[in-house]
Amino acid sequence: MESDELVMVMKKSPLKKRYFYFGCKRVFDILCSVVGIIFLIPICLCVKIAYMCTGDFHGIFYKQIRLGKNGKKIWIYKLRTMVPNAEEILQNWLNHNPEKREEYLKDRKIDNDPRITKIGNFLRKTSLDEFPQFINIFKGDMSLIGPRPVVPDEVKMYKKNRKKFLSMRPGLTGYWASNGRSNISYDERIKMELYYIDHCGFLLDLQIIFDTFFAVIKKDGAK
């Protein structure tokens, strides 16, 4: 083989491997999403009954605009874990706790969040609130594994790495989500999400699946 031809093969091989990886990843996503949606049906029924028993007859689904691949706006679905007037409660809390406002804007979390219901707390601890995102995966807006999707104004925290962060489909779980989640600062989260984008592959995805399973069992970082 001529030296120039060898150089061309070496340049093309990694790209072909990436196409193969992402192709397999999409097939795996579809299979997993079908199974997840089947399990979602009885879960939704149980959650609806549980809320009704507490006198809460509002809808059990919550949807929010997040950023998908290449910055496309997508609706992601979750089981509702907060009271219906959650935004009003959040604003009141921030107004009465100005010293916590900066901390909230930085890490996007509140200790002992007053908006979360008892049922919602259980759903979060067990990660069952994320199950409706199997619908997003089936539609192709998300993947089983990838960086967690962020709200539009949150992506600015990635600064010069915005484009890289938005270069992949967001995931139901991922390197950050399977390694501490709420126990990790947002700056560390950014580093972990970008690490996955740079090193994603079959072995890392398999590791994340196992880590996610054990994190859910141990309720590690769930809030």
| 96 and 201 belong to one structural domain | no
Structure confidence at residue 9 (pLDDT): 39
Report pLDDT digits (tens) over 92-129. Answer: 877 777 766 766 766 667 777 778 899 999 999 899 99
| 181 and 105 belong to one structural domain | no
How many Å apart are CA 107 and CA 54, to the nearest integer? 31
Is residue 223 domain-resident?
A: no
| 90 and 194 belong to one structural domain | no
Structure confidence at residue 94 (pLDDT): 76
Task: Select from 148, 168, 169 the least CA-distant residue to 157.
Answer: 148
| 89 and 151 belong to one structural domain | no
Is residue 4 domain-resident?
A: no
Mean pLDDT for the chain overall: 87
DSSP state of 180: T
Tokens in use for 107?
């890490």
| 39 and 54 belong to one structural domain | yes
Query: Number of folded domains in the chain?
Result: 2
Is residue 172 domain-resident?
A: yes
| 205 and 182 belong to one structural domain | yes
Structure confidence at residue 12 (pLDDT): 45
Report pLDDT digits (tens) over 52-64. Answer: 999 999 999 999 9
DSSP state of 147: S
Residue-number span of the structural domain to which 104 is assigned: 85-115
Structure confidence at residue 132 (pLDDT): 97
| 95 and 148 belong to one structural domain | no
Is residue 5 domain-resident?
A: no
| 49 and 137 belong to one structural domain | yes
Average pLDDT over residues 4-19: 52
| 180 and 95 belong to one structural domain | no
| 129 and 201 belong to one structural domain | yes
DSSP state of 64: E
| 138 and 189 belong to one structural domain | yes
Is residue 20 domain-resident?
A: no
Report pLDDT digits (tens) over 161-182. Answer: 999 999 999 999 999 999 877 6
Does position 183 have pLDDT exceeding 80, yes or no? no
Does position 1 have pLDDT exceeding 60, yes or no? no
Report pLDDT digits (tens) over 130-143. Answer: 999 999 999 999 99
| 123 and 99 belong to one structural domain | no
Is residue 11 domain-resident?
A: no
Task: Select from 219, 205, 218 the least CA-distant residue to 172.
Answer: 205
Task: Select from 76, 195, 186 the least CA-distant residue to 139.
Answer: 76
Structure confidence at residue 83 (pLDDT): 87
Is residue 41 domain-resident?
A: yes
